[in-house]
Structure 1
Amino acid sequence: MRCFTVVLVIRIILQYSLLQKMALNIPGLVATIVFYVIMLATGIWAAWKTKKKEKNAKQSEVAMVGGRNMNIFVGLFTTAATWVGGGYINGTAEIVYLPTRGLAWVLAPAGYVLAFIIGGLFFVNPMRSKSYVTMMDPLQETYGNTMGTLLFLPALIGDVFWFAAILSALGATMSVILDIRGYLAIIISACTVILYTLLGGLYSVAYTDVIQLVFMMVSLWICVPFALLNSATESIYYTAVNEFYQVPWIGKLETNYLGRWLDELLYVALGSIPWQIYFQRVLAASSSRQARLTSYFAGFGCVFMVIPSVLIGAVAASTDWNQTSYGLPTPNERGESSMILPIVLQYLCPTYVSVAGLGAIAAAVMSSADSALLSASSMLAHNIYRKILRKKATEKEVVCIMRVSMVAFGAAAGGLAFYSHSIYDLWFLSGELVYALLFPQLFCVLFIPNTNTYGSAAGFLFGFLLRLLAGEPSLKIPPVIHYPGCSLVDGVYIQLFPFKTFTMLLTLGTIVAVSYLVAFLFKRNILPHGWDVCSVIKESEASVPLPEIDEQVGLQKI
């Protein structure tokens, strides 16, 4: 069956390339299909392993958190692979290459290190102590099912946007190197990821992550020397420090951009924590100590994996494109900076090397795409279906809903990937709502006692409104609130004030303030208990009339 599927895919692509008169890269196509077959085989083997695990644990928990028995080696690789996706690899090269950005604006590696360290220090123990299955469990437990459903939406949007961003990265890469339409790559890759994730759950995701990460490391590092030594490329050391060379790829941080730089760093560092794809690994570890160690070391793995992308971006910024078959104008002038990594592999490396680089991108995409898919479907099946829609659902029902939702979310992400203009923008936008709305909520339920549903709802609505009013150039939404430093650049308003972090902090403050204010008003009977529609005040907490004091004899009268 698998052989028939592979032959069918090859035949479709060959027929399509003939119709379109495209110069199909046959060796690259064969290598890519072999890689996909290896991923499918690994996923099927992991699915068989999952069946064995299900005999001793709940079927849904094995699919979602691996039966809470994942070894540290696999856990380390799959945790690092979670964030090392196509958007991370391609986006980093794009930012280093862009004349207006450069290495100084590559904040994701440092942000991920901080995120994994903060997560390991503060979030691992509270999440594991109560044996939660998803990140949404403590939110539902504290704020109720209705509010939990509302908070599920930014998490779902974040996962689908993340999936779309990395599929878009792969489509761009394959269109350059294999000379096929990007949407064919998106469709085939999405189907492959959906299939093996659907079959084996977290075990399929984890074991394929190991192969993907190793393949990615080897492939990208093979490509780097060829790109560096190409005759059309100037020394990247010279172009980094020489102020007379066009725009140094090292980048520059202007004083007036410091607020925005800090905002984006904090956005990556704190906004990378409230994701189910991270907590799935934390909750799947066999012990809290292992979960913390996995979190710490995964951050440094992300830094190591981004080095080839930084070097490739530097090479692109140091290349005289007129000396290559790509010619002029440059990729930036053509508006193709988002595809700079595959362009470098295609035009500055031999064919067989560029094919290896393509495999690295495919591995990066799959390693994150499967995690996002499993994350969204796990929360829908466990937190929405089991806890709200059908509380008596059987294990088979939950797993069935999980699999159906995988197909639906995968299709939605694939469709969205066709419309992304900048890989880095889409990747960055995927966490906007998660940072502004979910991080304050998760922080409150874990570390600030007695916050309640009223505070959660007020914080959610206020934070969403505040973020919307700040505008978003990528979505062509003009700002209503002009923060200090807001300026018009090339017809687009740019917010230099750290408004993302400001929005997050105001959301956090709103949750706490409204929670304690409402509780005080109900306990003091200033508001009648009949208005307490969320039932956050128990009868035992209601205010008891204070004892009266007889002024003459000093005796209490109740």
Structure 2
Amino acid sequence: MNILDTIVLLLYFGVLVIIGIVGVNKVKSKKDFLLAGSRLGYFTHVGCLAAVIIGGAATMGTTTLGYNYGISGFWFVSMMGLGIAALGLFVVNKIGGYEVFTISQLLGKRFGEGTQLISAIVTAIYTLMVVVTQVIGMGNVIHVLLGWPLIPSMAIGGGIVLFYTILGGMWSITLTDIIQFVVMTIGVFFIMFPYSIVNVGGLSALFHSVPTGHQELTNIGWDRIFQYFLLYFFGLIVSQDIWQRVFTAKNQKVMKSSAISAGLYSVFYAVALSIVGMCAFILLPNLGDSQSAFTSLALEILPPGLLGLVLASVCSALMSNASGAIFASSTLITNDIIKVYFNKDMNDKDIIRTSRFVILGLGVLSIIFSIWIQNILVALDMAYAILSGAIFVPLIIGLYWKRVTSQAAFYSIIASTLVIFVTFMIYGITSTLPIIYGLFTGIIVIVGLTLLTPVDKYKFNKSKTKNYPGMIEKNSSNY
């Protein structure tokens, strides 16, 4: 990198720090800190949702898949896009009326505190693993650009995100997301994609130069496509970092329309980066580590100034996803565990202060896990396997089947989580089987225990649920 590109990156990081400081002044209540006051309109909300979907794993991972498998690498992020579109189409109308901050809080309103606790723990593990993927990505970017050792690079990247997230909470995250969405869109669609195509002689020349398999939509393999469907389609529907962004919208109409729009954006983003990965395959055929395909290609083909902007777009994707995930994890721990079980009398100021300490602790923990795993796609697969396999079934069935009991949902989450971790140890963390076994276990347990519950007992539980202290009466008809 030359001095101009370095200045562009440093200016970008400086803007993020300033936004973190500005965000502090906007935080007046718990709702401001956790949901940015729930005031976002359509355009800002689309940007925030797209920014949290398109993280470092999505950007660098899709380019890696394009390098290794060709155009079929688009399935990875496309399944995320389809998942958030499905959230907008089928789930938002069920959750939009509830004044909740987390998925587990909603499950707690439906099934009681026990289910809220276990779902909060499982979802917090998922969001922590998402942070790990982004820290790994940031470490790889800094490592490639500056030649620093990978471990210190991860620590520096994670530290920048921690700074502005701790200061301003969701307001700082929202402000940075909007900037990051713009930078990310310009960097990928208007700079990296066209420059890559030009350097290989055009799209026609590209598809004539790559192996035949790279031109096929299913080259990545039906088993991998099915794995992405299980992990990311289901996972995005019940992802806490996505839900927390959804709740920042000013009304249910904005929630629905922006979720669908962000899903479509993700599909186009996936196609563009798969093609960029194919260009890297042609221009850098002897690349030692395909995880660095994006940054290595940028260094190879982009002129000074534009290189700094594109690399800022990669950092944008990484930081946006990391800040959202770590904030979601801290919200779960503070709102659904500490406040419910350790300090029920916490006021807004206590919650904000506790959240900041939790964010700091989770940030340190995520850096430690990043150093241990060091592989973006493996870490992301683990995260979504835990989430999709354990939380998807009780949440969706609970929303649409009125008879589901509290005990059935509670034991469904516990059984699915145990099965996933055991099968991870048996089949390895890259296997599709843990999530399949987790989903089937969840279905069998929740359906079986519900059907075994006598109807009279169910009616009694239902009447109790209507009077549950946390339930919002105006929406009790949803259940």
TM over 0.5: yes
Aligned length: 464
Give the aligned partner of residue 47 of structure 1.
24
Whole-angstrom distance in 1 between the partners of 2:378 and 2:290 = 12
CA contact (8 A) 2:96 2:252 kept: yes
Higher gyration radius (CA): 1
Match of 1:341 in 2: 294
Residue aligning to 1:402: 355
* Aligned twin of 1:270: 234
Q: For 1:294 and 1:88, locate their aligned partners in 2 and report how far apart those are by CA, in whole Å.
A: 19
The residue identity in structure 1 corresponding to 2:204 is Y
Task: Work out the CA distance in 2 between the residues paired with 1:495 and 1:146.
Answer: 30
| CA RMSD between the two structures | 2.9
**5+ residue gaps in structure 1?**
1-23, 322-329, 472-476, 480-491, 525-534, 541-558
* 8 Å CA contact retained: 1:267, 1:501: no
Counterpart-to-counterpart distance in 2, 1:40 and 1:254: 42
Aligned-partner SS, 2:112: helix
CA–CA separation in structure 2 for the residues paired with 1:356 and 1:420 = 29
Shift of 1:152: 1.4
Following superposition, the deviation at residue 236 of structure 1 comes to 4.9
Partners of 1:113 and 1:25 lie apart in 2 by 36
> Residue by residue, what CA displacement relative to the aligned partner does 1:334-356 show, whole Å, maximum 9, x if unpaired?
3x111111111123334544322
Aligned mates of 2:2, 2:304 — CA distance in 1: 9
Counterpart contact for 1:236–1:314, Cα < 8 Å = no
Tell me how far apart the structure 1 counterparts of residues 399 and 119 of structure 2 sit (CA, whole Å): 15
Closer, same or farther: CA 105–223 of 1 in aligned 2, 3 Å? closer
1:73 paired to 2:43: yes
- Superposed displacement of residue 254, structure 1: 6.8
Residue 184 of structure 2 is aligned to residue 222 of structure 1: no
Matched, 1:283 2:244: no
Which range moved further: 151-160 or 188-197?
Answer: 188-197
Change (3 A) 1:394 1:223: same
Q: 1:422 aligns with which of 368, 371, 375?
A: 375
C-alpha separation in 2, matches of 1:28 and 1:180? 17
Contact residue 96 and residue 250 of structure 1 kept, 8 A: no
CA contact (8 A) 2:176 2:320 kept: yes
Per the alignment, residue 122 of structure 2 pairs with 154
Instruction: Give, in whole Å, the separation in 2 of the partners of 1:144 and 1:301.
Output: 37
Determine the C-alpha separation between the residues in 2 that align with 1:186 and 1:30.
Answer: 21
Measure the CA separation in 2 of the matches of 1:254 and 1:229: 25
Once the two structures are superposed, residues 430-451 of structure 1 have per-residue CA deviations (whole angstroms, 9 ceiling, x without a partner) of 2111000011121133222132
- Counterparts of 1:452-463 in structure 2, within 5 Å, are 452-463=405-416
CA pair 40-259 structure 1, distance change in 2 beyond 3 A? same
Contact 2:104 2:117 in 1 (8 A): no
Amino acid at match of 2:146: L
TM-score (norm 2): 0.88
8 Å contact kept, 2:103–2:240: yes
Q: Can you give the 5+ residue segments of structure 2 that lack an aligned partner in the other structure?
A: 466-479
- Aligned amino acid, residue 411 of structure 1: V
Q: Aligned residue for 1:95?
A: 65
The letter for the 1-side match of 2:352 is: V
Higher helix share: 2
Q: Per-residue displacement from partner, 1:231-285 (whole Å, max 9, x unpaired)?
A: xx4655345356xx54642346379x53542342243112111112111122221
Distance 1:502 1:258, change over 3 A: farther
Distance of 2:258 and 2:149 partners within structure 1: 39
> Which fold has the larger relative contact order, with Cα–Cα distance below 8 Å and residues 6 or more apart in sequence?
2
Where 2:453 maps in the other structure, the secondary structure is: helix
Alignment of 1:482-493 (within 5 A): none
What is the CA-CA distance between 1:227 and the residue it aligns to? 3.2
State the match for 2:475 in structure 1. none
Equivalent residue number for residue 295 of structure 1: 259
The residue that corresponds to 2:318 in the other structure is: 365
Deviation, structure 1 residue 165: 0.6
Q: After superposition, give the CA deviation of every residue in 1:153-192 in whole Å (9 maximum; x if it has no partner).
A: 2211111111111121121112112222333332232222
1:64 alignment partner AA:
L
Q: 1:421 to 1:247 in 2, by over 3 A?
A: farther
C-alpha contact (below 8 Å) 1:236/1:318 kept by paired residues: no
**Aligned counterparts of 1:234 and 1:129: Cα–Cα separation in 2:** 53
Q: Which residue of the partner structure matches residue 96 of structure 2?
A: 128
- Structure 1 vs Structure 2: percent identity of aligned residues? 17
Contact in 2 for aligned 1:25/1:178 (Cα 8 Å): no
Measured after TM superposition, the shift of residue 85 of structure 1 is: 0.8
Counterpart-to-counterpart distance in 2, 1:319 and 1:118: 37
Aligned equivalents of 1:187, 1:154: Cα separation in 2: 25
Q: Following TM superposition, by how much is the alpha carbon of 1:307 offset from its aligned partner in structure 2, in angstroms?
A: 4.3
Using structure 1 for the length normalisation, give the TM-score: 0.76
1:34 aligns with 2:11: yes
**Alpha-carbon distance, 1:370 to partner:** 1.1
